[in-house]
Amino acid sequence: MAGTVPRKLRVEVLARIEGEAGLDIAVKRDGRVEAHLAVFEPPRLFEGFLRGRDFREAPDLTARICGICPVAYQTSACQAMERACGVTVGGAVRDLRRLLYFGEWIESHALHVHLLHGPDFLGYESGIHMAADHPEPVVRGLRLKKVGNDLMTLLGGREIHPVGMRVGGFWRAPRLEAMRAMREPLLRAIDDAVAAARWTGTLDIPEFERDYLFLALRHDDEYAIVDGRLATNNGFDADVDAFERHVVEVHAQHSNALQSTFDGQAFLTGPLARFALSRELLSPRAKEAARELGLNGPCMNPFRSIHVRAVETIHAAEEALAIVERFEPIERAYVDVEPREGSGCGASEAPRGLLYHRYRIDAGGSILEARIVPPTAQNQKSMEEDLVRWVGAHPELDDERLGWTCEQAIRNHDPCISCATHFLRVRVNRE
Amino acid sequence: MAPRKPKPKPKRAGDGETPGDVRPKLAVWKFASCDGCQLTLLDCEDALLEIAAKVEIANFPEASRAIVRGPYDVSLVEGSITTSHDAERIHTIRRASKVLVAIGACATSGGIQALRNFAEVGGWMTAVYGRPDAIPTLRASTPISDHVKVDFELHGCPISKEQLIRVLGAILRGNVPRLPHHSVCLDCKRNGTVCVTVAEGQPCLGPVTRCGCGALCPSHGRGCYGCFGPLAEANFGGMGRLLEVKGVDAAGRARLFRGIYGAAEAFRVESESHGRNRT
């Protein structure tokens, strides 16, 4: 397309995300758009230092990859080790694992919806700025977030890097009174989450659709979170151990992070993927909220991820309440896991997408090899494609607005850059 | 349809109402880390808006796009130095900050990523990344105090919310922050938690670890793994011998000291007395 005005855009700091990265966008003379998400987050080499550690240490060590989703790391690591050792965790202990994870979903989604992503739609620099004019959603969001954190504290002792989980289950079973005490806050959280979903419905969402390949865990009986089979929206279905045969990581030159493809294609994990594959399994009020928001089928508009996160928050609060209500005191909250030589993989649904771990251990339980594929690394290519499409579709936007909306397009996916290997620097180059 | 046009200006955090804001400027900076310590600030749900009203949040990219130029009254620095670029950036931040507080295990000891300090990093880089040559990284992960003057260190992985609010409050009032200085072990006694070492023979670093977590791990029936770092003047050698008596093998003892705070001097020295460099 001759005649396109070439441009270069640079947004130095992409805020309200976890981790440090930059964004380079170039609009070429022929109208082509190139977009690179450059991760500046320094490598921390977890897969290196995990070698030689005891298999029981993986949950505590890998939690330190991310302060926002430590439970996801602990869960995927535990499951990989349990699988390597031929142990399955079910029943009440599995319930507790889901409950802790729902705490993380509620905390992370409430943070993202109200403080990190929501302010974009109303043109505010931050949730704190937004609170000056819109106190209600912010205060409600913080209240909701606190219930998530309280669940994490109940089962894990603290919100960030909880200490309660171990390979095989939990170190200690929660006390009945402490579980019952969560009932009232969770009832309130369901109402708050429903109100939050309605609030997201009032936001002016850009019209923008993409033809995504979605990858998520799918479970027969529940909206998958702690485990499930790998599934895509084009019919793929396989055990988690097929992950590395399809998802290939490539080290892109512009980034400290690895980028993934699924059978050679960019793909997307996270709320949109989960919703597309498992929406029938959402809790009643979450389904109702989805209908109210007009989410009648797979949602292909990444800007609407805020709707899906709000719906998932309702689901998390309802399911958490159900677990709290059916809880009966248990003596021992773990199963014994004895090491054996072999390897095992585990995957769970972090708030921002599928998190895969695989470990090879020796007969004594020493880790010989570790492989961790976080959701943001998997989503990175799709995020870049979003930008190319968005910039191409909006030549009318001036640099400032284009920069802001490109940041927003990245925030749609709640990237976790510490995980992927924080500031995002956005540079758009109009040649 | 194009999204709503961003509101013009307000570039100053919290402004709109007070041109010429005189609130102290707070900045939050990140180096190699997991973001957990700065997230602790956002996790102060009940106090967050109150804190935000008392200070001008001048630089906190995890929470806000608004960036206000320095100088800053208080800088909270999270993360360790692992690249030559970061080794330079920390000096710029120091120059722009009246008070600099290093927060968390990474900023005060090098963090979990300092486990590289015990190993040959090159091999790991090749194992993890396809093109390690393209990734700038230093051989060691080092605390902020190795590079610039640090006014106060707040420990923990993650830091404690209560301690953070206390320290910020003291600094903003112009006081020197004071935090309790005793072992996790003592907090267990105060909490009435049954000792996991005495009762169950579990290895526990409680006697030599700085308090601040509320003695969380033993209250969950497990031994402390030292996530608030070594308590100065503790008897580390005695701790090592106790572990040995309790049947922890040399490799296990070395690993226990070489965890979240592995590069902190006292833990490093003790770990090396039990095991040579890692396998």
Interface contact A42-B46, CB threshold 8 A: no
pLDDT at residue A257 in the model: 63
Q: Is the pLDDT of residue B278 over 60?
A: no
Query: Does A125 contact B259 at a Cβ distance shorter than 8 Å?
Result: no
How far apart CA B68 and CA B48 sit, in angstroms, is: 19
Signed CA dihedral, A55, A56, A59, A65: sign only: negative
Query: Residue with structure tokens 């008897």?
Result: B235
**C-alpha distance from residue A299 to each of A106, A217, A315, A337 (Å):** 21, 17, 17, 41
Q: Which two tokens stand for residue A76?
A: 């995927």
Mean pLDDT rounded to a whole number for chain B: 88
Average pLDDT over residues B221-247: 96
**Whether pLDDT at A5 is above 80:** no
What's residue B133's pLDDT? 59
Name the nearest CA neighbour of B117 among B273, B275, B264: B264
**Is residue B19 scored above 60 in pLDDT?**
no
Question: Residue A20 phi/psi, 5° resolution?
Answer: -120, 125
* Confidence check: pLDDT of A132 > 80: yes
Q: Say if residues A97 and A75 touch (Cβ distance below 8 Å).
A: yes
Of residues A309, A282, A285, the one with CA closest to residue A203? A309
- Rounded CA gap, A145 and A150, in Å? 9
Q: How many Cβ atoms from other residues are within 10 Å of residue A294's Cβ?
A: 10
Of A16, A160, A408, the CB nearest to B39: A160
Nearest CA in chain A to B57: A128
pLDDT band at A429 (very low <50, low <70, confident <90, very high): low
Residue B138 pLDDT class (50, 70, 90 cuts) = confident
Is the pLDDT at A424 greater than 50? The verdict is no
Give the position of tokens 């409680």: B206
Percent pLDDT > 90 in chain A is 78
Cross-chain Cβ contact B33/A418 below 8 Å: yes
Confidence of residue A79 (pLDDT cuts 50, 70, 90): very high
C-alpha to C-alpha distances, B79 to A6, A165, B105, B262, B266, nearest whole angstrom:
39, 25, 8, 15, 20
pLDDT of B276 higher than 50: yes
pLDDT at A344 > cutoff 60: yes
CB count within 10 Å of CB A377 equals: 27
pLDDT band at A418 (very low <50, low <70, confident <90, very high): low
Res. A30: pLDDT tops 60:
yes
Q: Which residues between 174 and 233 in chain B have a beta carbon less than 8 angstroms from any beta carbon of chain A?
A: 213, 216-217, 219-222, 225, 227
Structure tokens belonging to residue A187 = 């009832």
* pLDDT value at residue B229: 98
A250: part of which helix (H) or strand (E)? strand A247-251
pLDDT value at residue B21: 75
Q: Is residue A338 helix, strand or coil?
A: coil
The rounded Cα B167 to chain-centroid distance in angstroms is 14
pLDDT of residue A187: 98
B47 touches chain A (CB under 8 A): no
What pLDDT was estimated at residue A16?
Answer: 65
CA closest to A173 among chain B residues: B220
Test mutation, B50, B65, B261, chain A, max A CBs within 10 A? B65
Cross-chain residue pair A43–B279, CB shorter than 8 Å: no
| CB-CB under 8 Å, B7 with A111 | no
Say if the Cβ atoms of B42 and A138 lie within 8 Å.
no
The more confidently predicted of residues B9 and A22 is: A22
pLDDT at B12: 42
- The burial of B91, by beta-carbon neighbours within 10 Å (0-12 exposed, 13-18 middle, 19 or more buried), is given as exposed
Q: What tokens were used for A166?
A: 């171990």
pLDDT per position as a tens digit, B144-164: 999 999 999 999 999 999 999
B89 shares contact with chain A (CB less than 8 Å)? no
Q: Which residues on A lie below 8 Å from B16 (Cβ)?
A: 129, 132
* B119–A418 CB contact, under 8 Å: no
Residues of A in contact with B120 (CB under 8 A): none
Question: Which residues in chain B have their CB less than 8 angstroms from residue A20's CB?
Answer: 30
Q: Nearest to residue B195, comparing CAs of B234, B221, B225, B228?
A: B221
Residues 6 or more apart whose CB falls under 8 angstroms from that of A168 comprise: A78, A82, A87, A89, A334, A335, A336, A337
Least confident among A72-76, A425-429, B87-91, B240-244: A425-429
Q: How confident is the model at residue A82 (pLDDT cuts 50, 70, 90)?
A: very high
> From the list B39, B67, B121, which residue is nearest A13 (CB)?
B67
What b/e readout covers B36-58, taking b as 16+ CB neighbours within 10 angstroms? bbbbbbbbbbeebbebbeebbbb
What separation in angstroms does the CA of B217 have from each of A65, A77, A161, A272, B260? 20, 19, 12, 37, 14
Tell me the β-bridge partners of A261: A248
Residue range A36-53: average pLDDT?
A: 81
Cα(A423)–Cα(A16) distance, rounded to whole angstroms? Answer: 8
Q: Would the CB atoms of B65 and A43 count as touching at under 8 Å? A: no
CA distance to A266, B199, B203, per residue, from B196 (Å) = 49, 5, 8
pLDDT at A4 over 80: no
Q: How confident is the model at residue A164 (pLDDT cuts 50, 70, 90)?
A: very high
At residue A217, the pLDDT reads 98
Q: Which residue, among A129, A261, A398, would best test binding to B if mutated, counting the most B CBs under 10 Å from its CB?
A: A129
**Rg value, chain A, Cα:** 21
The confidence score (pLDDT) of residue B10 equals 40
Residue B207 CA: distances (Å) to CA of A83, B112, B186: 35, 21, 8
Cβ of residue B6 closer than 8 Å to a chain A Cβ: yes
pLDDT at A34: 86
DSSP codes joined into one string, B163-176: HHHHHHHHHHTTPP
- Rounded Cα gap, residues B133 and B129, in angstroms: 9
Tokens of A409: 């397009």
Token reading at B33: 């880390």
> How far is the alpha carbon of A118 from chain B, nearest alpha carbon, in Å?
12
- Closest CB from A49, A121, A404 relative to B115: A49
Residue B11 has pLDDT above 50, yes or no: no
Burial of A147 (0-12, 13-18, 19+ CB in 10 A): buried
Predicted confidence at residue A423, as pLDDT, reads: 33
B48: contact with A, CB 8 A cutoff? yes
Of A35-44, A103-112, B177-186, the range with the lowest mean pLDDT is A35-44
User: Given CB atoms, is B115 within the 8 Å cutoff of chain A?
Assistant: yes
Note the pLDDT tens digit of each residue in A83-109: 999 999 999 999 999 999 999 999 999
pLDDT for the residue numbered A267: 97
CA distance B34 to A158: 16
Are A265 and A232 within 8 A, CB to CB?
no
Contacts of A359 in chain B (CB under 8 A): none
Q: Which CA distances in Å does B74 have to A91, B40, B60, B90, B121? A: 49, 16, 12, 14, 34
Are residues A251 and B131, on separate chains, in Cβ contact within 8 Å?
yes
Over the stretch A227-282, which tens digit does the pLDDT of each residue have? 999 999 999 999 999 999 999 987 666 666 677 899 999 999 999 999 999 999 99
* CB nearest to B119's CB, from A49, A64, A127: A49
Q: For the ranges A80-94, A334-348, A402-416, B191-205, which has the lowest average pLDDT?
A: A402-416
Rg (CA), chain B: 21
What the block records as the tokens of A120 is: 């974009």
A128 → closest Cβ in B1, B6, B14? B14
Q: Is it the case that residue B8 has pLDDT exceeding 50?
A: no
According to DSSP, the residues that pair with A217 across neighbouring strands are A230
Asked if A412 contacts A302 with a C-beta cutoff of 8 angstroms, the reply is: yes
Q: Which residues of A254-286 are buried (b: 16+ CB within 10 A; e: fewer)?
A: ebbbbbbbbeeebbbbbbbbbbbbbbebbbebb
Calculate the average pLDDT of chain A: 91
Mean pLDDT, residues A41-49 = 80
| Distances A33 to A22, A75, A341, A399 between C-alpha atoms, Å | 17, 39, 49, 14
CB contact under 8 A, A42 and B31: yes
pLDDT band at A354 (very low <50, low <70, confident <90, very high): very high
* Structure confidence at residue B17 (pLDDT): 41
Residue A24 in this model has a pLDDT that exceeds 50: yes
* Nearest Cα residue to B112 out of B79, B88, B77: B79
Cβ-defined contact of A18 to B62 (cutoff 8 Å):
yes
> Are the C-beta atoms of B67 and B35 separated by less than 8 Å?
no
H helix or E strand, kind and range, residue A360: strand A353-361
Contact B222 A396 (CB under 8 A): no
Q: How far is CA A319 from the centre of its chain?
A: 18
Q: Say what percent of chain A tops pLDDT 70.
A: 90
- Cβ separation B3–A251 shorter than 8 A: no
Residues in B touching A123 (Cβ below 8 Å): 4-7
